[in-house]
Amino acid sequence: MEPESPVPTCYRHPTVECYVRCVRCDRHICPDCMREAAVGHQCPECVKEGARSVRQARTVVGGRVSGTPVVTYVLVALNVLAYVLQLALPAFEDRFEMVGARLVGPDGGYYHHVGAYIGPFHAEGVVAGEWDRLITSGFLHLLPTEGTFGIAHIVMNMLALWHLGRILETQLGRVRYVALYLLSVLGGSVAELLLAEPYAVFVGASGGLFGLGAAYYVMARRFGGDMDTVNRDTVMLLVWLLISAGLTSWQGHLGGLLAGAAVTAAYAFVPRGPRRSLIQAAACAGLLALLLLLTYARLAQLTG
């Protein structure tokens, strides 16, 4: 029987000679396996074990702390991409804009009512099962040929998203921020469906943005902030509301504002505790259910 080699080797790489030990488990580790610690070096397994035992940093509302506002960058990119598709493919906007119900004639034209026109018609919009329009319309904008402001619509909206989004994504965490934005977009679309003519067409990120504006104000009031800056930003947002209401819809702005305020209130005023995240998720799910119920009721009215 050969005597055991006195030369120590790495526990992960048995052929590599080494003389350094992990300060936690005392196993030999080679240079490839060394992980620098506060004192000495640790092996990869001990580093992973230590990371699991470290408490995850949380935002003031319980979300995970995120550094780079990735979600905001993605939302801006999606809006810009959708705008390019609108410019390149006219049918793209027709399919994904917000419209409750409209009739399409055999000539491909849109009609509010059939009247004396004879021929086969079919319905388009949310009433025809195209519920995705409730969200997709929040990523479309007016084209340069569709109004006096033209490209200013998307430019102003993206500047507001860039400003508010980076702040709120840091304050809320990515998951809560995504839920806030999408529920605000949905709230705006549902308000348009309820309060506007069913054949009216709407596009724009304003519902989501006014949800973010409401969240920005609620967070500042709840957790403290430079209220002079907050009030100034709020006034600027209201001015944009008045301007863009003539471009798109005051209904969408109002719906997004109310939805955003409701979601952020759930985030900010639920007390800390082991069930905070569960209560916040239940509040978001409850708002989603309410919006879908209102949509269903409106569609039942239109088809009744």
Residue 164, in any domain of the structure: yes
Residue 5 and residue 115 in one domain: no
CATH number of residue 148's parent domain:
1.20.1540.10
Residue 6 and residue 109 in one domain: no
- The pLDDT of residue 130 is 93
Residue 101 and residue 153 in one domain: yes
Residue 104 and residue 211 in one domain: yes
Could you tell me what percent of the chain has a pLDDT over 70?
83
pLDDT tens per residue across span 41-98: 888 888 888 776 556 677 778 778 777 899 999 999 999 999 999 999 989 998 999 9
- The pLDDT of residue 116 is 47
Q: How far is CA 12 from CA 2, 7, 247, 264, in A?
A: 22, 15, 65, 49
Q: How far is CA 24 from CA 19, 42, 185, in A?
A: 15, 7, 51
Q: Copy the structure tokens of residue 301.
A: 């009215």
Residue 22 and residue 144 in one domain: no
- The pLDDT of residue 53 is 59
Residue 78 and residue 35 in one domain: no
Residue 32 and residue 86 in one domain: no
**What's the number of domains the chain is made of?**
2
Low-confidence ranges of the chain (pLDDT < 50): 1-3, 116-117
Residue 49, in any domain of the structure: no
Domain extent, residue 24, equals 1-41
Residue 157 and residue 30 in one domain: no
Angle between the N-to-C axes of helices 250-269 and 227-245, in degrees from 0 to 180, rounded to the nearest 10: 150
- The pLDDT of residue 281 is 95
Residue 26 and residue 89 in one domain: no
